[in-house]
């Protein structure tokens, strides 16, 4: 009986253990109209380059996104996104740092080519 209880408790503790889900969430609600792959790239950049700020923050707010268009030729349009990021506590007023991310999304029809480039990442120590 003791072995059964031990096995059940070990199974329950491993089943309920953390599975890699981060404690913060990236909030794009005030970001405006952004292409889904640009949102994914911003999240990836934040995960790779802003770990210290993310470790302290409960929420990451992406807001005040400026979108510039560059009309190339015959309907080909490249987009530049300038996003302001706030690393915050449980509300927006507890500030753990800020960052500005500039990303360019090229209008390329070949799906095997990466069409998004990080142009600039500036922060107040929140990112490297």
CB 104 within 8 A of CB 117: yes
Average pLDDT of each block of 10 consecutive residues along the chain (128 residues)?
53 46 72 89 92 85 92 89 90 81 91 91 88
Please give the model's pTM, rounded to 2 decimal places: 0.74
Residue 15: DSSP 8-state:
H
How far is 107 from 113, CA to CA, in rounded Å? 11
Give which of 15, 36, 20, 25 is closest to 79, Cα–Cα: 36
Eight-state DSSP code of residue 82: E
Token pair of 16 as six digits: 């309920």
Provide the pLDDT for residue 23: 55
Rounded-to-integer distance, Cα 119 and Cα 89, Å = 28
């Amino acid at each position: 009986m003791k072995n059964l209880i031990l096995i059940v408790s070990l199974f329950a503790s491993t089943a309920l253990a953390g599975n890699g889900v981060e404690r913060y969430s990236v909030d794009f609600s005030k970001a405006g109209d952004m292409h889904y792959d640009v949102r994914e790239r911003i999240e990836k950049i934040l995960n790779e380059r802003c770990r210290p700020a993310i470790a302290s923050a409960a929420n990451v707010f992406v807001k005040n996104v400026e979108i510039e268009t560059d009309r190339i030729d015959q309907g080909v349009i490249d987009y530049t996104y300038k996003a302001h990021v706030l690393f915050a506590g449980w509300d927006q007023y507890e500030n753990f740092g800020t960052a500005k991310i500039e990303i360019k999304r090229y209008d390329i029809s070949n799906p095997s080519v990466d069409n998004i480039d990080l142009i600039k990442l500036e922060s107040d120590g929140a990112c490297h």
